[in-house]
Amino acid sequence: MTWVPAPGSSPLLDVRPLVEPRSIAVIGASRQPHSVGWLLLDNLLTSGYTGVVYPVNPHAHAVRGIRAYPSIEAVPEVVDLALIAVPAPFVAEVLEACGRRGVRAAIVISAGFKEIGPEGAAREARLREIAHRFGIVLLGPNCLGVMNTDPAILLNATFGQAMAQPGNIGFISQSGALCAAVLDYTRAQNIGLSKVISLGNKAGATEVDFLAYLWQDPQTRVILLYIEELSDGRTFLEYAHRITSDPDNPKPILALKAGRTSAGARAVASHTGSLAGSDEVYQALFKQAGVLRVETVEDLFEYATAFASQPLPGGSRVAIVTNAGGPGIMAADTCIQHGLDVPPLPEPDRFRQRCQLPAHAGLSNPIDLIADARSERYACVLDALLQDPTFDALLVLFVPIPTADTDAIAQTIIEAARRRLKPIVTCFMGVVDISPVKAALRAAGVPCYDFPEDAARALAAMVRFHRWRIRPVTGYRTFTADREKASALLQRSAANRHGFIPEDIAFRVLEAYGFPLLPWQAARTPQEAAEAACAIGFPVALKVLSPDIVHKFDIGGVLLHLDSPEAVRRGFEQIQHAVAQHAPEADFQGVIVQKMGARGHELILGVKRDVHFGPIIMAGLGGIYVEVFRDVAFRIAPLRERSAYLMLEETRVSALLHGVRGQPAADIDAVAECLLRLSQLALEQPLVEELDINPLLVYPRGNGAVVVDVRIAVRQSEPAA
C-alpha cells in the first residue's frame, strides 16, 4: 500500500477575455430598438464599460451614433471579445471569420442549436470545432451573456434589462431566463453581484472554467450555481473541492440543482444501478466537494448574503436574542433541527446585573429582552455576547412595537456587526412599517430576514461550511493489485445479454485486487463439487454458476449448510434441475462451491459507471432487502480514505456497525479498506460498468470482512457493421 496524491485535473479555459475584455465587437448590432442586437450595444454603452466597442453591421454606417463596420475583418483592431447575435445558420461563418481575425473569445447569444434537435446539434458541433481550431474561448450558444460589476471593467454584455448592483456574490447559471429573473430579484432585494455568467448550451466554456476564475477573482467572496446538468462531473469535483478547501483562499459554493427526479431510461439489473439515480449522484458530488446544496432560488441568495457579509462562525453554538418569546422559540427549534447548538447562558444572574435587565427578562437561550427593550438594552447584550466564548454566532430577532426605537436598534446591531468578532444574522419581522430599516441593515452588510427560520437556516449553512473547513483531510490510497490479470479476465469473459460475467471470473477479478473472499471453487459436475467441498471443508454452500441468472435465490439456485459429499452431489443435481425448470434458456456452467461463513453484518458495496461522473461507489445495508430499505450512500471515485468512513456513517446500518444492545462493534476499518479497493478497481478497469458485492459479511472489530457474492457487468462492445 502506498500513498498517492490526488489525480490530475483537466486543463481549463482562460475565460478572462469573456469577463474582462478590453475591446468588444458586437456582431449583429442593430438600429432597431429593443432587438437583441440593439440591447447588447445599448447595455455596453449605458453600463459604463471601460473598453472600446465596435458595432458590426453590414447595412449601417453607424449604430447608436458609433461608427459601424461591415464585418469583423474591417474592425481596425483585433478585439478581445466578439458578441455574436446573428441568426443561427450564419453563426458558424461569423465565428470562422473571428478566428481568422484573431479574436480571442466569443459569446454566441443566438439560439437555434442543440436545444432544437439534431439540426441544431450539428450546427453546435461545428461551432465547437471552429473554436477549437482557432483557439477561441467560446461561451454559449443560446445564452444571456456576461456581467462584470468591477469598477475597472463595468461590463454588461447581455440583452437583459439592467446592470446588476455591485457586490461580492458570483452567479453562474445554465439558464439564461433564470439569470434575467435573478437580476430583477437581486435589484429588488438590494443584493450586490460581482459577476453574472449565463452558460447557455456550454459548447465551449463550462461552469468549471468559471468556478476556477471566480476562485481567483478578488471581487467575489461566494459563488452561486444553478445547474441542470454537468458535462464533466469528475473535473467539477476536483476544482470545487480545491476551492472550498483552499487553506488560504477558501470560498463557499452554493448550488441549486434542477431536475431532482430520475429520468433514466436505461433499465439496469444490478442493485447499484437501480439505487444510484441522477439526484443521488449529484448529492454525493456536492458532499465530496464541500458544495452546499439549496432547494430554492430564495435560499440560494438568503444564504449567500450571510456568507458575503459576515465572518464564518468558529463553531455551532448560537446565542438567540429576541424581544418576543414566540419568534425566539421558532429560531431555537430551527437551529437545533439543522445541527446547531443553543447552549444556556453560563452565568445568567451576572449577565442580568451587567446589562441591568428586568427581572422578567428570559435569560436561558433564547435571551428574551421583552417587548419594551430599547437600543441601550440590545447594545449591552450584544456586547456581552460578542465577548462571551460560550457562543460562536448571534441570531438577533426584533418584532416592532409602537414604542420601540426601531432605527436605533438597527443601528446598534450594525455597529456590533462592524466589529466582526462573530457572525450576526437578524430577523426584523414585519414588512410595511420597517422595510426601510431592513434595507438599511442589508446595505450595511447585516443579513436581515423576514422570518426566524430563514435566519437560522442561513446561519446553519455557514456552520456547515465551517465544519467542512476544519475537517481532517485525507489523501488517496493505492493498493498492490494485479491489474493486468484483472483486465485480461474481463476482456476474455463472455458476458451475457445483460453484460454480466460468470461469477467465478468475477471472484478472480476481486482476488486480483486483494479483496478477502470466502474459500471457493467452481465445479462443472456433481463429483467435482463433492471433491471441492472436501478440499474447502464443510459446511459449504452451492450457488448456480450462470451469467444468465442474476437472482439465484429466485429460481432455487442457492443451497446452504451442506455438510457431506453426498449432500453436495445431490445439491448439484437439485440446482441443475431447478435451472432446467425455471430458466431453461440459461447457460448452466455448474456451481460455485463456497465455504459457509460465520454470521455477520450484511453490507452491500457497489459500482456504477456514469457517463458524466465516471465510477460511482455505493455502500450500505446489504442482503435480499437492499432495494426495499434503500439504506445506502454514494460517492464518486476516487475515494479519499475519510470518505469511505463517512459513507458508512450516513447510513442507518452505521448504528449496528458501532455496536448496539451489547453486540460488539464491527470491523469498520475492514469495510473502509474494501471500499477503497473497490474505488481503485473501478478507476483502473474501465470495462467494469456495474459491480455488486452483496453481501459483504462484516465481523467484530479485528476480525475483518469477507465477500460472499459478487456480480460484475462489463461494457458491451459495439456490434460489427
pLDDT at 133 over 80: yes
Query: Do 218 and 255 form a contact (C-beta atoms < 8 A)?
Result: no
How confident is the model at residue 262, as a pLDDT?
52
539 prior amide bond cis, ω within 30:
yes
Q: Is the predicted pLDDT of residue 188 greater than 80, yes or no?
A: yes
Does position 31 have pLDDT exceeding 70, yes or no? Answer: yes
- Distance, in Å, from the CA atom of 109 to the CA atom of 80, rounded to the nearest integer, reads 16
Give ∠ CA 611-615-621 in degrees, rounded to 5.
Answer: 125
- Residue spans per domain, the chain: 16-263+275-306, 311-470, 519-595, 601-714
Q: Which of 115, 105, 67, 59 is nearest to 83 (CA)?
A: 105
β-bridge mates for residue 522, sequence order = 592
**33: number of CA atoms within 13 Å, CB side?**
0
CB–CB of 594/519 below 8 Å? yes
* pLDDT on residue 432: 67
Stretch 427-434: mean pLDDT, rounded?
A: 83
Mean pLDDT (the chain) is 92
Helix, strand, coil distribution of the chain in percent, nearest 5: 40, 20, 40
In the block, residue with C-alpha cell 457586490: 167
- In angstroms and rounded to an integer, the radius of gyration of the C-alpha atoms of the chain is 31
Q: Strand 318-322 vs strand 367-368: parallel, antiparallel, or unpaired?
A: parallel
Report the pLDDT averaged over residues 576-581: 95
Q: Is 364 helix (H, G, I), strand (E, B) or coil?
A: coil
Would you mind telling me the total number of residues written for the chain in this entry?
721
| Cα-based angle 15, 18, 22 (whole degrees, multiple of 5) | 115
Q: Which cell is 240 given? A: 470545487
By percentage, how much of the chain surpasses pLDDT 90? 83
Nearest residue to 392 (alpha-carbon basis) of 309, 306, 317? 317
Nearest to 153 by CA among 40, 18, 37, 15: 18
Give the per-residue pLDDT at 715.
86
Q: Which of 50, 49, 20, 26 is nearest to 38 (CA)?
A: 26
Q: Which amino acid is at 367?
A: I
* d(C-alpha 527, C-alpha 154), whole Å: 83
pLDDT of residue 272: 44
Mean pLDDT computed over 132-138: 98
Cα gap 474→641, rounded to integer Å: 6
For 519-595, CATH number out of 3.40.50.280, 3.40.50.1110, 3.30.1490.20, 1.10.490.10 equals 3.30.1490.20
pLDDT in tens, 54-70: 999 999 999 999 999 99
In this model, does residue 150 exceed pLDDT 80? yes
Per-residue confidence (pLDDT) for residue 662, from 0 to 100: 80
Helix (H, G, I), strand (E, B) or coil at 287: helix
The DSSP symbol for 392 reads S
As a whole number, mean pLDDT of residues 103-127 equals 96
Chosen CATH of 311-470 out of 3.30.1330.30, 3.90.220.20, 3.30.1360.120, 3.40.50.261: 3.40.50.261
Quote the pLDDT of residue 566: 97
Closest CA to 605 of 700, 721, 690: 690
Bond into 366 cis (ω within 30): yes
> Grid coordinates standing for 17?
477575455
Separation of alpha carbons 424 and 190, rounded Å: 19
pLDDT top residue among 497 and 595: 595
Helix (H, G, I), strand (E, B) or coil at 617: strand
Fold match flag (311-470 vs 519-595):
no
Query: Cis link prior to 695 (omega < 30° from 0)?
Result: yes
Of 663, 666, 628, the C-alpha closest to 649 is 666
388-421: pLDDT as tens digits = 999 999 999 999 988 889 999 999 999 999 999 9
Distance CA 632, CA 629 (A): 9
Residue 358: predicted pLDDT = 93
Confidence of residue 430 (pLDDT cuts 50, 70, 90): confident
Q: Where are the alpha helices (H) located in 658-693, listed in sequence order? A: 668-684
Rounded CA-CA distance 507/488 in Å is 14
544: Cβ contacts below 8 Å, ≥ 6 apart = 552, 555, 557, 558, 575, 578, 579, 588, 591, 592
Cβ–Cβ contacts within 10 Å for residue 430, how many?
A: 14
The CATH number of the structural domain formed by 16-263+275-306 is 3.40.50.261
Question: Confidence band (pLDDT; 50, 70, 90) for 720?
Answer: very low
621 or 548, which is more confident? 621
CB 227 within 8 A of CB 197: no
Residue 716 has pLDDT above 60, yes or no: yes
Domain spanning 601-714: which superfamily?
A: ATP-grasp fold, B domain (3.30.470.20)
Q: Which of 209, 100, 95, 103 is nearest to 141 (CA)?
A: 95
C-alpha cell at 127: 461551432
What distance, in Å, lies between the first and last C-alpha atoms of the chain? 45
Region 429-454 average pLDDT = 91
Q: pLDDT grade, residue 3 (50/70/90)?
A: very low
**What are the tens digits of pLDDT across the range 291-323?**
999 999 999 999 999 999 999 999 999 999 999
More confident of the two residues 261 and 714: 714
CA distances from 7 to 285, 477, 683 (A): 16, 11, 11
pLDDT tens-place string over residues 351-362: 999 999 999 999
So what's the pLDDT on residue 7? 43
Strand partners for 69: 56
CB 320 within 8 A of CB 366: yes
pLDDT band of residue 612 (cuts 50, 70, 90) is confident
Are 245 and 290 a contacting pair, CB within 8 Å?
yes
DSSP one-letter string for 412-436: HHHHHHHT-SS-EEEEE--STTTHH
Give residue-wise pLDDT tens across range 232-286.
899 999 999 999 999 999 999 999 998 766 543 333 334 444 444 588 899 999 9
Average pLDDT on 520-548 reads 95
Is pTM beyond 0.75? Reply is yes
The per-residue b/e assignment along 321-359, b for 16 or more CB within 10 angstroms, e otherwise, is: bbbbeebbebbbebbeebebebeebeebeebeeebebee
Residue 548 — pLDDT band, cuts 50, 70, 90?
A: confident
